[in-house]
Structure 1
Amino acid sequence: MDKTMNTQPTKIDFVQYHQPGLESGEYQLTISQTLSVDDEAKATPSLTRNFHVAGERFHLQPEHIHSVFPPAHSQSDYANVFPHVLLSRNTLPWEREVYSDDNETPWLALLVVHENEMDKVSESIVAIGNIAEGVASAPDVNNLEPGQTNATKVAVVDIKKSLLDKIMPNEQALRLLTHVRQTKDNEGNLAGHDMATVVANRLPKKGEQNTVYLVSLENRLKSDGTFNYQRAGTTDKVRLVKLHSWEFTSTETIGDFATILKNMDSRVSTLRLPDSNTVAAPYLKNGLYPLPHRMRQGAQTVSWYHGPLSPRSNAETFDFPAKGADALVRYYEKDGMFDVSYAAAWELGRLLALQNTHFSTSLYQWKRRYAKTQRHGNNPTHLAGSVTDTTLEALPAQIRDWLTKLENLEGVPFNYLVPDEELLPVESIRFFQLDRLWMEALLDGAFSMGRVTSGDHALDDEIRALEEAFVPSATTISGFIMRSEAVAGWPGMQVEGKTANDVPLELIRRVALSPNVMLCLFKGDLQTLDLHLKPEVLHFGVAHDHKKALRDVNGQEIDKEGGGKLKVTVPFNDKLVLELPDLSKNISTKKENNDNVYWSGANPTSTHLALQMLEGVELVRFTK
């Protein structure tokens, strides 16, 4: 299996801010007019109306949080990425003020707390009227707005000043770490909603669980741009309104998205054991796997089995409907081994149907109704002129829907799909083609409800010829199954399947079978698979050596004379907090020798920082 990487071509524009037309608060609207009569101005009564612009203050609605990164409860190597939150309302960070008459500084901030610091943090729910109790510094809630009372409950987080003083962003950092992202297609047209992005100023700690808090800084800054701790001492706790929070774990050795995919096991590209020089080689190429087999008489042997995820298409046929699972057992006389693959599929279909009593009962009754009309018709046969109606009643929708789901492998146990871990090792991806014969056996097993006598078998044979729902689609269905930490770490990764001629394929089903196993089915013959992240998962990050390649205005990394990329050192303090003034100086120094660097040493904005600190979305391609 070949693997290549390139940058996803989706275009992203960074906007410094999107200020609302009106900030949250009280307003007064006065309307007056002057009439001119014979060139003499006549005053008329004016009209005054008061109104309130309501905006989020103590709570955010769930729909306002579009996504967070790193994903909540995920585990991966996040030690060199800055967490961020995407907000669906692009004006939200600028709808309130951090101090009076400042409408350019965001009132929202992200605070990253490491696991070994959680003893300095506590969370609670308090009434607005009691928000200042027990702490030395608290939000100013003297001016409550319509809908807010002293009894209104608010989520808060209390952080000791000794920690908060080192991780709290100042005014300049708040401005630089908040921007708006506009996603565009290759023609420059908007390809989605603008998203406000709030980025943390601190790196997670490797090997620990990290917690990120989205907090309100409304009226919490002083005019010099620093946080107002009021009377809080070093050991005192400072209370902040908590609008959202999530946790994730930064592991020791997993790696980033592209690195994980690039290093995945691809010794074989399909779901089968590696090549062997033994007599078993022809069986292994077809995806067969030896499993213990207990006979009815108590004897034990080893038989071949493969699931529906086959390495190649299968041209074999069986006579369906089958009279039982035994009719689908194959025996390889040369090697003295049974192949129970299709027998197992048939028996599984029968058991799944029996497990769903609504389906099995409805199917049995539907078949009995057809049998009755076949024998007697819909009209009494003793009446003169009666006609026997033997047409097949339409299959009930709930039966058809259940069979469709079954054909997409919904409800099929994982050990039937992948009979042994050896076929799908840790950090591996495998292509497959859905074995139509296996699926036919599965559907026939489900269809076998009430098939006991030879008459029942003949009836099922007749119904099966009339109703296509019990026969799998003739369309080629293919796909891949992946076992990787990338599934858990990036659940929103984009999946694009293509043919050998690079024609996109329709994705029929995508499902996470476990936290780290994903299965995808495509309509057609999958030959090329592209995996990449959504544009909104673009994040700020640095290399492990805290270096960053600088970019020009078009987002292209700049080559330096003599080869290599023009890089800058990204400085951090002892708490892994980004030192933005020092970073600005470092970049400005590089710009003095290279005008292509996109940066303004005198007054950098959030768009400058976003373009320089961005980690690109790499596209990883697997070719069967």
Structure 2
Amino acid sequence: MTDQLDAPVPVTDPGFVLHFRDNREPAIDAGLYRVRAEQTLPGVDTGDYLAPVEETFEVRAPQFALADDQVHAVNPAPGTHADHSTTLAHLTLANPLLPWMRRLDEPGRADAAPAEPWLALLVFAEGELPADPRADAVTVPRTAEELLTDAEGVRHPRIAPSQIEGDPTAPCRTVDIPGDVFATVVPRTEELRHLLHVRDVTTDTGLRGEQLAEGAYAVVVSSRLPDRTVQARYAAHLVALEGCRSILADADAGRLTHEVTVRLAALHSWSFTSDPAPGGGFAGRVRHFLFDSTGQERDLLLRLPPPPAGDGSEARASALARLESGRVPLPYRLETGEDTYAWYRGPFTAEPALKLPDTPESGWTSAAQLMVYERAWGLFDAGWGAAWTLGRALALADADFAATLSAWHAKARARAAAMAQRLTAPGLGTRASSRDAAFHARAMGPRPFGGLLEELAADGTAAR
């Protein structure tokens, strides 16, 4: 394996570490193998003393079909309509070894260059494939046996019958490509290895709470950009090039014409539309969402619509002010059991939040401390209390934070128990030791253990 870039790539998420590598060749290619072992004893063996031993084994890998779960992701996304004129279509495989598990070579040849892949991602525009004029990623179902059967004017992979993995009558998806189109779209043979790489995604082992998609992936990149001048639909096909070295050589030399059809297995296919016109794609849709046809900004604040006109009472004015600030009245049950209403302001309200009150020395220990009671109207404002509860829930949902907090509580309990035992032991009844105990109790936390020790020191328990 060669490393194009072995140093970690910095990313915005500190839990991700990426390594990009040129390739990841397997120890042995996919295929059928025969191992023969012979042993001779000089001066004793007459040729039949020790019989040769022969074993056959098979290294398996997808050949003419690929399960959907082997494709980790594709880009552009299937069916999207946006400006993709600067995007090279690419596909991510879950198996990082797959692109190098087979060879371009045909039967009887063994001159494959190291790290030469057998997969390519080809992108076709509307009208380029006779069987798929609208570029809907249409494929033709055939069996592997039919794919490899000779036909007039058709070039297909040259694979020995003994190298067909599994049932030769198993179905697969195929695509027929005019020779001149294939020669234009397919990468040159020496370019294939530059259009694939391996991406190793690892995570910081210290972040036990993160659920990240770590692993190794192979990425296959196409060599064609969509047209940047007109709207067009494109079909992307991940094709198998095993046994296609002579076809690629003719494509490199320009010997493929329109009269020739290149028939390949399509392992994965999808389609998308590239629209370079202003207003197309995601950015255009967001702009349309934010502004109307006259260019006026839409009122998109998440708030209740204003109530119909009424009297100009102070109560109405106060309620309108709260509605305009993004607050909503929600049912609220008091701790004493009564049902009433409370004002609530969510975290995504498009309005600056009010300044928090001064934090007490001991901090906020419950949501009830942050509930605001409006005496004039007899209602609570639950916004700060709900935010405190949400923050606590998010913090405890982090496994690392929860584990650290649990360990801190356990340590505090152990220290509190040890301090209490020392305070009740004989010989610790001096005034200085009482003050020291109270000081350590306050610094030790968390409550109620610190408060318990302060009480023990204050009421004379430490003097006993």
Distance 1:224 1:212 in 2: 19
Q: Deviations over 1:402-424 (max 9, x none)?
A: xxxxxxxxxxxxxxx9xxxxxxx
Q: Matches of residues 181-580 of structure 1 in structure 2 within 5 Å?
A: 181-185=199-203, 192-206=214-228, 207-222=231-246, 225=249, 227=251, 233-252=257-276, 253=278, 273=299, 287-290=303-306, 311-312=326-327, 317=332, 475-476=386-387, 505=394
Q: Give the CA deviation at 1:199.
A: 0.4
Is the Cα contact below 8 Å between 2:60 and 2:165 reproduced in 1?
A: no
| Residue 193 of structure 1: how far off its partner (Å) | 1.1
SS in 1 for 2:180: helix
User: 1:17 and 1:322, CA in 2 relative to 1: closer, same or farther beyond 3 A?
Assistant: same
| CA distance in structure 2 between the aligned counterparts of 1:118 and 1:228, rounded to whole angstroms | 20
Cα distance in structure 2, aligned partners of 1:90 and 1:167: 25
Name the SS of the counterpart of 2:190 in structure 1: helix
The answer to whether the Cα contact below 8 Å between 1:137 and 1:232 also exists between their aligned partners in 2 is no
Amino acid at match of 2:199: R
Equivalent residue number for residue 65 of structure 1: 71
Pairing 1:123–2:147 present: no
**1:8 matched to 2:12:** yes
Q: Per-residue deviation at 1:170?
A: 1.5
> Which deviations, in whole Å up to 9, do the C-alpha atoms of 1:353-391 show, x marking residues without a partner?
xxxxxxxxxxxxxxxxxxxxxxxxxxxxxxxxxxxxxxx
**CA distance 1:221–1:288, change in 2 (3 Å):** same
Q: Does 1:156 align with 2:174?
A: yes
**Native 8 Å contact 1:220 1:228 kept in 2:** no
Work out the CA distance in 2 between the residues paired with 1:145 and 1:292.
Answer: 79
In structure 2, what is the Cα distance between the partners aligned to 1:68 and 1:319? 52
Residue identity matched to 2:243: N
1:224 and 1:113 mapped to 2: Cα distance? 17
- The residue aligned with 1:111 is 122
Q: Deviations over 1:170-221 (max 9, x none)?
A: 2111011111111245799998211111100001234222211000111112
The two structures, once aligned, show a CA RMSD in angstroms of: 5.3
Question: Per-residue displacement from partner, 1:45-81 (whole Å, max 9, x unpaired)?
Answer: 4432111112211011222111111111223221101
Q: Which residue of 1 aligns with 2:196?
A: 178
Specify whether residues 224 and 198 from structure 1 end up closer, same or farther in structure 2 by C-alpha distance, changes over 3 A only.
closer
2:156 corresponds to: 138
Aligned residues: 316
CA distance in 2, matches of 1:63, 1:169: 26
Alignment-mate amino acid for residue 199 of structure 1: V
3-state SS of 1:476 partner: helix
Q: How far off its partner does 1:32 sit?
A: 5.2
- How far 1:33 sits from its partner (Å)? 5.8
Q: Corresponding residue for 1:82?
A: 88
Offset of residue 8 of structure 1 = 2.5
Aligned letter for 1:205? D
8 Å CA contact 2:63–2:165 kept in 1: the answer is: no
CA 1:173–1:257 in 2, change beyond 3 Å: closer, same or farther?
farther
TM (norm. structure 1) is 0.41
Partner SS, residue 222 of structure 1: helix
Displacement of 1:478 after TM fit?
A: 10
Q: Secondary structure of 2:145's match?
A: helix
Unmatched runs of 5 consecutive residues or more in structure 2? 1-9, 133-137, 292-297, 310-318, 353-384, 398-464
Deviation of the 1:260 alpha carbon: 9.3
For the residues of structure 1 that align with 2:395 and 2:206, how far apart are their CA atoms? 26
2-side partners of 1:504 and 1:201: how far apart?
Answer: 48
> Residues of 1 paired with 2:204 and 2:81: CA distance?
33
Q: Give 1:113 deviation, angstroms.
A: 1.0
Q: Would you say the 8 A contact 2:121–2:236 is kept in 1?
A: yes
SS in 2 for 1:162: helix
Greater CA deviation, 22-31 or 62-71? 22-31
Q: Distance in 2 between matches of 1:232 and 1:141?
A: 20
Q: Aligned AA for 1:239?
A: R
8 Å Cα contact 1:24/1:53 also seen in 2: yes
Residues 129 and 29 from structure 1, CA distance in 2 versus in 1: closer, same or farther, beyond 3 angstroms?
A: closer
Distance 1:251-1:146 versus aligned 2 partners, 3 A rule: closer
1:159 Cα deviation from its structure 2 partner:
1.2
Identity of aligned residues (%): 25
Give the C-alpha shift of residue 89 in structure 1: 0.8
Alpha-carbon deviation of 1:152?
2.3
Q: Which residue of 1 aligns with 2:102?
A: 96
Change (3 A) 1:264 1:8: farther
How many angstroms apart in 2 are the aligned matches of 1:312 and 1:43? 95
Letter in 1 for 2:27: G
Where 2:215 maps in the other structure, the secondary structure is: coil
Post-superposition shift, 1:82? 0.5
